[in-house]
């Protein structure tokens, strides 16, 4: 139904005949939040649920994320879906390092968040051991609705992020704690 279609609300600002004034943070946030290009780093079961999320029933495209970017250089949000083994850890970090700022990370599923049921010698106990994570999605695997919810949480983060955040000393310190320059 055409009446079901929602158009994103304009941010608060001063509106008059022929002009609209708001802060640049809000405009940039609005643009970023509704055009997040995901990089699916799908390794296992959660990756299959991510496929379902991209599929026609759940359709992540409704949230401006239809353009899957397999190149980390052009991706905004890294979706780590599935178990990350220790062998895979350096690869994941490499992918993260190649992403341009601003970048967000979603840990989809129990394995990516904490190692899940695989508390074993070969599995990394959560990807936050090697890269900073913005949103954790629980579940083994999470339902597509949950994955969409995680993406919407990133949208909220993107909307409310100040333009200077990525240059702030706090952010630099966060990256430094992961050994990222």
The contact set with another protein (CB under 8 A) reads: 41, 43-45, 48-49, 51-52, 55-57, 70, 82-88, 91, 95, 114, 117-123, 125-126, 129, 140-141, 143
Residues 6+ apart with CB under 8 A from 68: 37, 38, 39, 40, 54
CB distance 2 to 8 below 8 Å: no
In order of 53, 87, 100, 154, the CA distances from 161 in angstroms are 26, 34, 16, 10
Residue placing its CB nearer to another protein in the complex, 20 or 70: 70
Residue placing its CB nearer to another protein in the complex, 129 or 153: 129
List the one residue out of 76, 91, 83 whose CA is nearest residue 131: 91
Residue placing its CB nearer to another protein in the complex, 113 or 155: 113
CB of 29 to another protein, least distance (A): 29
CB of 17 to another protein, least distance (A): 44
CB of 90 to another protein, least distance (A): 10
- Its sign, for the CA torsion 105, 108, 113, 114, is negative
CB of 161 to another protein, least distance (A): 27
Structure-token match 């394995």, residue found: 111
CB distance 174 to 166 below 8 Å: no
Residue placing its CB nearer to another protein in the complex, 81 or 158: 81
């Amino acid at each position: 139904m055409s009446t079901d279609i929602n158009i994103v609300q304009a941010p608060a600002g001063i509106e008059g005949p022929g002009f609209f004034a708001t802060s640049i943070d809000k405009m940039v946030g609005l643009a970023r939040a509704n055009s997040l290009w995901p990089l699916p780093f799908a390794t296992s079961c959660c990756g299959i649920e991510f496929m379902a999320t991209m599929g026609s029933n759940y359709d992540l495209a409704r949230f401006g994320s239809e353009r899957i970017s397999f190149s980390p250089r052009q991706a905004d949000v890294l979706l780590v879906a599935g178990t990350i083994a220790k062998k895979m850890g350096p690869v994941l970090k490499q992918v993260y390092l190649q992403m341009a700022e601003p970048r967000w990370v979603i840990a989809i599923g129990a394995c990516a968040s904490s190692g899940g049921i695989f508390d074993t010698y070969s599995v990394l106990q959560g990807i936050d051991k090697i890269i900073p994570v913005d949103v954790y999605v629980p579940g083994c695997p999470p339902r597509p609705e949950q994955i969409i919810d995680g993406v919407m949480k990133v949208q909220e983060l993107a909307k409310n992020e100040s333009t200077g955040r990525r240059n702030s000393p706090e952010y630099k310190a966060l990256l430094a704690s992961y050994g990222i320059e």
